[in-house]
Amino acid sequence: MGRRPDICDVLIAGSGAGGFAAALTARLHGLDVIMVEKELLFGGTTAYSAGVIWIPCNSHQQPNGITDSREDALTYLTHHVGNRLDRARAEAFLENAPAMLDRFEREGIVSYTLAPTWADYHPDEPGASQGGRSLVPDDFDGRALGQWFDKLRTPIKTMTVFGGMMVGRNDLPHVFAMTRSVRSALYVGRMLARHGRDRLRYDRGTRLVNGNALIARLAANAFRRGIPLWLGSPVVELVREDDRVVGAFVEREGERVEIRTRHGVVLACGGFPANPDLTRRVYGHIAAGKGHATLPPPGNTGDGLRLAQSVGGTFAGDVDQPAAWTPVSLVPQPDGSIVPFPHFFERSKPGYISVDRRGRRFVNEAKSYHVFVPAMLEACRGEQHAQAWIVGDHQAVRRFGLGALGPAPMRVQPFLRLNYIKRSGTLRGLAEACGIDAAGLERTIGGFNGPARRGEDPEFQRGSDAYQRFNGASGHKPNPCVAPLDRPPFYAVRVIPSELGTFAGIRTNEKAQVIDGEGRAIPGLYAVGNDAASVMGGTYPGAGITIGPAMTFGFIAGRHLASASPYRLFRT
Ligand SMILES: Cc1cc2nc3c(=O)[nH]c(=O)nc-3n(C[C@H](O)[C@H](O)[C@H](O)COP(=O)(O)OP(=O)(O)OC[C@H]3O[C@@H](n4cnc5c(N)ncnc54)[C@H](O)[C@@H]3O)c2cc1C
């Protein structure tokens, strides 16, 4: 006789933000939950992320003097997403997102601080916010995870320093100012001292920030509330009875284990960015034979999509963009491997521009990463490679860094030796080192510098809205995003396309249920996070628009699961 099935109310596949939010909500409603994770580490892409969430009308706004309304947020989404907006899902998101945050904060499941000046990414569109919809996770002490600390997915290697020290969004102003401000130098000194102490006992720093802090706090809560998490245990097949999903088979320690569920199964497997066959089908540039580097972890291979399709779920590929894009540079590691570095920050600071192979600018560099990549792809149309170079002068690069090369006093030499960045005393020399057209680069920077001295960018109007200025250098006048590139030597780093996660995904309804080709909910089956098609229709309205919805639809799924009467297993 085979092993008897394990029984629970809810089975969650995947341990990212979507999975934990669904698991914890179901638990708060008294359900008995099992979480399973395919990889030996938990946290998924969420553990790599900045952990920022986009929550219009959140309760942190009022104490910060910010007004917002659900109508404004819906106007913004309607305008920005256009006819791809699924109004019912968008309304469900806007209604439930603030409730999710309030409930989770009250329970100590998350802890967030508002970024009051972090504007929406298209702040001049109707209904957009000039700041106050994006929240940054608070630090978390990894030691509180006890033996689970070692099982938490570590951040992307290129985004930590000194052997695993994390630097959060709130730390950055101090890092940029540490050579010019005593307060900032002391702040960074304290970070270093804590890290030094940690390294005596741990393989990396225990002061967690960003997505690592978010996941660690979620996990600590899940463990405290008695939710088991099985690592190295992928869901491989769903179990159906009477057209209802009533469980799944999981591979665990070489065995195929059946788990039966009274309420349902939640797919939270993080989409398909690490599935080369699928990305070749839906990413145009890969289909055209151009290069791409994948940022999310290797386990995100579209298992959720395959599982949903096996019981009648459908793939929603009709999104504006199939993935959330970001440019990355490729950082050679001492062991010969290459690790991508996502370029979120320096592009919008004064003293940088980006150019294509002909030395021409192709985008307003201070716009979001999701705008940057399509513009780069367009600039490289008809070329063999999709690539661009971020170019900065000495003053800019020593103040703000260039990709994985941090600001001074971090040493430039090791990055030059690795051939990661190029440096030259002249623009011509830099262009030749990069393989960029030298006359084109000289012409572009010559043309840029004149107006840039007055803080102007007539070609792309860099610094022209609140989002761009938020990412500029505060206090840099007259335009926080613009300065001439006139202090040699000059530096450049090559970037190529990458993604933060996929936007195309399983079609779901406003209750996070997987729906079939006729729009009917498949009883007992839910999809959240990047397994579900983007509620933003494949657009990127603001910081946190994937994790905010991942947690909100996890919350919605958890409540819906709890409201359904339990299925009577093994009736025959
Ligand atoms: C550098 C970086 C920064 C980012 N910053 C932000 C940000 O600040 N805000 C934001 O909104 N978004 C951000 N993103 C995007 C964001 O991280 C993802 O969109 C989000 O974390 C996806 O969450 P998820 O729960 O859907 O999946 P994940 O967090 O990827 O978790 C999915 C998990 O499911 C597991 N899994 C896969 N298959 C199975 C299976 N068969 N059975 C069991 N488990 C399985 C995977 O191994 C994985 O651990 C960022 C991304 C990156 C790379």
Token reading at 543? 């910081």
pLDDT band at 545 (very low <50, low <70, confident <90, very high): very high
pLDDT tens-digit series, residues 37-59:
999 999 999 999 999 999 999 99
Distance CA 347, CA 472 (A): 9
**Which of these ranges, 178-187, 277-286, 352-361, 534-543, has the smallest mean pLDDT?**
178-187
Share of the chain above pLDDT 90, in %: 88
Q: What is the mean pLDDT of residues 85-92?
A: 98
The closest-lying atom of ligand 1 relative to the alpha carbon of residue 543 is 9
Q: What is the pTM of this model?
A: 0.96
Q: Residue 34: pLDDT band by 50, 70, 90 thresholds?
A: very high
236 vs 174 pLDDT, higher one: 236
Lowest-confidence segment of 27-36, 83-92, 99-108, 187-196 by average pLDDT: 187-196
Distance 546 CA to ligand 1 centre (A): 9
Q: How far is the CA of 224 from the centre of ligand 1 (A)?
A: 23
Is residue 292 within 8 A of residue 385, CB to CB? The reply is: no
Is 39 touching ligand 1 by the criterion CB < 6 Å?
Answer: yes
pLDDT band at 564 (very low <50, low <70, confident <90, very high): confident
Alpha helices (H) along 248-379: 276-282, 284-287, 303-310, 369-379
366-397 confidence digits (pLDDT tens): 999 999 999 999 999 999 999 999 999 999 99
Q: Token digits for 375? A: 């513009």
Among residues 234, 263, 237, the alpha carbon closest in space to that of 248 is found at: 237
Identify the burial level of 222 via C-beta atoms within 10 angstroms of its C-beta, where 0-12 means exposed, 13-18 middle and 19 or more buried: buried
For 229, phi and psi rounded to 5 degrees?
Answer: -125, 115
pLDDT for position 515 = 98
C-alpha dist (Å) from residue 38 to 14, 199, 225, 334: 7, 29, 22, 29
Span 80-104, average pLDDT: 97
pLDDT band at 571 (very low <50, low <70, confident <90, very high): low
Does residue 407's CB lie within 6 angstroms of at least one atom of ligand 1? no
Which pLDDT tens digit goes with each residue over 512-541? 999 999 999 999 999 999 999 999 999 999
Amino acid residing at 222: A
Provide the pLDDT for residue 2. Answer: 67
Confidence of residue 435 (pLDDT cuts 50, 70, 90): very high
Kindly state if the Cβ of 18 falls inside 6 Å of ligand 1: yes
Ligand 1 atom at shortest distance from the alpha carbon of 17: 25
* Residue having the nearest C-alpha atom to atom 15 of ligand 1: 500
Q: In the predicted model, is pLDDT for residue 212 greater than 90?
A: yes
| Cα of 181 from ligand 1 centre, angstroms | 37
Q: Please name the residue whose Cα sits nearest to atom 21 of ligand 1.
A: 46
- CA distances to 193, 293, 372 from 325, rounded to whole Å, are 36, 11, 8
pLDDT tens digits for range 131-165: 999 999 999 999 999 999 999 999 998 888 777 88
Distance of CA 268 from the midpoint of ligand 1 (Å) = 9
Q: How far is the CA of 258 from the centre of ligand 1 (A)?
A: 25
Q: Coil, strand or helix: which one is 6?
A: strand
Q: Tell me what pLDDT residue 5 has.
A: 86
Cα(446) to ligand 1 centroid in Å equals: 42
Of 386, 384, 358, whose CA–CA distance to 374 is shortest?
A: 386
Burial 320-346 (b: 16+ CB within 10 A, else e): bbbbbbbbbbbbeeeeeeebbbbbbeb
Express as a percent the part of the chain with pLDDT over 70: 99
Q: How far apart are CA 12 and CA 22, in angstroms?
A: 8
374 CA → ligand 1 middle, Å: 22
Distance 390 CA to ligand 1 centre (A): 27
What mean pLDDT value characterizes the chain?
Answer: 96
pLDDT for 226 equals: 97
Calculate mean pLDDT across residues 457-468: 98
| pLDDT tens digits along 304-334 | 999 999 999 999 989 999 999 999 999 999 8
Among candidates 104, 5, 92, 14, which has minimal Cα distance to 53? 104
pLDDT at res. 1: 54
| DSSP states along 393-412 | EHHHHHHH-BTTB-STTS-S
Average pLDDT over residues 231-244: 96
Q: Give the tens place of pLDDT for each residue, 163-205.
A: 788 888 788 888 878 888 899 889 988 988 888 888 888 888 8
The residue nearest atom 4 of ligand 1, judged by CA position, is 49
- The better pLDDT of the pair 194, 571 is held by 194
User: In the predicted model, what is the mean pLDDT of residues 108-131?
Assistant: 98
The predicted-structure confidence for 395-431, as pLDDT tens digits, reads as follows 999 999 999 999 998 899 999 999 999 999 999 999 9
Cβ–ligand 1 contact at 480 (below 6 Å): no
13 CB within 6 A, ligand 1: yes
Long-range contact set of residues 101-106: C-beta below 8 Å, sequence gap at least 24? 101/53, 101/55, 101/58, 101/59, 101/135, 102/59, 103/25, 103/28, 103/555, 104/21, 104/24, 104/551, 104/555
User: Radius of gyration over alpha carbons of the chain, in Å?
Assistant: 24
DSSP 431-447: HHHHT--HHHHHHHHHH
Ligand 1 pocket test: pick from 42, 48, 269 the residue with the most ligand atoms within 8 Å of its Cβ: 269
What pLDDT sits at residue 103?
Answer: 98
Pocket test for ligand 1, best of 10, 25, 34, 46 (most atoms within 8 A of CB): 46
Is 434's C-beta closer than 6 angstroms to any atom of ligand 1? no
- Residue of the nearest CA to atom 42 in ligand 1? 234
Neighbours of 260 (CB within 10 A): 18
The answer, yes or no, to whether any atom of ligand 1 lies below 6 A from the CB of 537, is no
Residue 115 confidence (pLDDT): 96
What is the pLDDT averaged over residues 76-102?
97
Q: Is the pLDDT of residue 9 over 90?
A: yes
